[in-house]
Structure 1
Amino acid sequence: MLAAPAVPAHASGDEVHLAAALRGANEVGAPGDTDGHSTVVLRISGNEVTFAARWDRIGTPTAVHVHLGARGADGDVRLGLLTTPPPSSARGVTGTVRAGNDLVQALVADPAGFYVNLHDAAHPKGAVRGQFHRLSKPVDLGGVLHGGDQATLSSQAGGGRHVPGGDADGRAVWWLRPGGSSIAYTVSWSGLGRVSAGRLHKGAPGRSGAVVADLFAAARGLPENVTGVAGVTPVSAGVAERIAAKPDAYYTNLHTLDFRGGAVRGPLSGEPFTHPRALTAEVLRGSQIYACTPLPAGGHGFTQLGVTARLRRGIDHSFVTPGSGPPQWIAPDGSAVRGSVVTRTPNGGHIPELVLDAAQAGAGTGLLAHATQILRLNTTGGTAPAGACVPGTEARVPYGADYVFLG
């Protein structure tokens, strides 16, 4: 197996990206949420730490913290990313906090010595947890906020488009996906005070219209450091269908504590567009495949031949060529990527965790078409059988993992 090249050291002024895949099974000292998971990415630039967190199957987070502590160890909070609950419909947030020089240097030098913890009301000690890994290239945090599905509608919002008035300094970008009895939304903003609500209205340009969907609300305003939120909100029968059929009859409206009637507004557009995405897909069933081959020191032992796995969302994982690779992931829509290992992190008696660079190898659009990096995290099982073996035999060892596709 080829050795992984070293990741360059941090230089002053450079951006460093760290990522973690969080699971309840990683919690220490108190049980976590057995079904929940989350992806968190940090972008560190000087003393600014910009974060994106996306979660699923846990309660509304009450806090998101960075702790000092290696895998399996409990540690103190060193940085609060989110310290108040987001809106109940939210599934993700972005924002920025400042950190001291010592903490920044420690995070960059030893990411695996820190973990991120999402807390909720049912799990005050922590619902899901994950250790940090350093990425080999930048990541668009907007994609992490949004998740894996392509949005179908968009909106560019500004204060000058609001009726009446609005925040002249504010801007917002919306991505939406109406369908069935819900609307999935992602919005990021700049130049605004504390955001208190996001809504969809029906109305022609230049005119105020009735609210058709309350996407999210925070009566006291979101924390000032939060700059984006994503989620899913239920809507009445037929609302999503009507919006999807005639989007230009509707507009987005973002409210703040200073502009309670609306700070920035923008018309909905159904024009095709692309946007960054991020996807976490766990192994539903999979095996690491080993072959009994001659060893350099003499005798025979099991060495990697390949892998076979089915991931959530119907993604198939295998080697392009048995015995030599590279690893590949193929989605049902024809999008595909191949990976090359950048770093390996030992994980006790399990196969190592990996950071891989991704090369596109399939359709130009689709589930994996955004991916430039792949992480194999939260690994279980999968290690090669020990001891002597019969030449020519194979062994298939079941394993589990979360694969994170970032772009």
Structure 2
Amino acid sequence: MKRLVRLLVVPTAVAVTLAGVTAPAALADDHGSHHADSSGVELGLGLDLDLGLGLGGQHRYAQLTGQAEVPGPGDPDGRGHAVVWVTSGKVCVSLTVRKIQTASAAHIHRGTAGTAGPVVVDLAAPSDGTSYSCTRVDRGLAREVARTPAQFYVNVHNAEHPAGAVRGQLHR
């Protein structure tokens, strides 16, 4: 029995330590290089969350464009990127947008590609082109976003496009 306990405790301690070290660095990276650099860590942390241990967290991503906006039209030149870090009871988002007028709001919505849905998480608007925010959420919602990211999208609004300037579906 002692051997089993040691096997469970050591990986858990390592996962918790790695989560504290890698999460801020991955969220700060707006250039997409985090996919290759941290994939091994994400797999280990994702396993902890999927097993219901409530440890670690998972990244989800979205490429934002005006063309993806529903019902549209979004900003035809607008682009952006979102990195969403989901943990048990919290969602943190790093947003970057460009080629749109000043952002006035940002959200995570429930909805599949091609559909409009309700807001589930309010985010800090990237009014100067970037923003970072963390929001406490229901554990069930956090689990849904982590496990079924394609059921959610990130949306950024501005005065010219109040229904949404850019949008992107979440993915692993």
Task: Report the TM-score when normalising by structure 2.
Answer: 0.68
For the aligned residue pairs, the C-alpha RMSD in angstroms reads 1.6
Determine if the alignment matches structure 1 residue 42 to structure 2 residue 100.
no
> What is the SS of the residue equivalent to 2:80?
strand
Equivalent residue letter for 1:31? P
Mapping of residues 7-406 of structure 1, within 5 Å: 9=47, 10-11=50-51, 12-82=54-124, 86=127, 90-134=128-172
* Higher RCO (C-alpha under 8 Å, 6+ residues apart): 2
Separation in 2 of the partners of 1:36 and 1:125?
Answer: 14
- After TM superposition, give the deviation of residue 45 of structure 1 in Å: 2.1
Structure 1: distance between partners of 2:148 and 2:109: 13
Equivalent residues of 2:96, 2:126 under 8 A apart: no
How much identity, in percent, do the aligned residues show?
35
Cα distance in structure 2, aligned partners of 1:51 and 1:73: 22
> Is residue 106–residue 126 contact of structure 2 (8 Å, CA) maintained in 1?
no
List per-residue Cα deviations over 1:120-143 (Å, max 9, x = no partner).
110000000000012xxxxxxxxx
Gaps of 5+ in 2: 1-42
Give the Cα–Cα distance (whole angstroms) in 1 for the partners of residues 126 and 66 of structure 2. Answer: 19
Specify the code of the residue in structure 1 equivalent to 2:153: Y
**Alpha-carbon distance in structure 2 between the residues aligned to 1:53 and 1:15:** 18
| Residue-by-residue CA offset, 1:308-335 (whole Å, 9 max, x unaligned) | xxxxxxxxxxxxxxxxxxxxxxxxxxxx
Q: 1:85–1:23: structure 2 CA closer, same or farther, 3 Å change rule?
A: closer
The structure whose Rg is larger is 1
| Unmatched tracts of structure 1, length 5 or more | 1-6, 135-407
Report which of the two has the higher share of helix: 2
Residues 85, 50 of structure 1: alpha-carbon distance in 2 compared, 3 angstrom cutoff: closer
Please report how far the alpha carbon of residue 56 of structure 1 lies from its aligned counterpart in structure 2 after TM superposition.
0.5
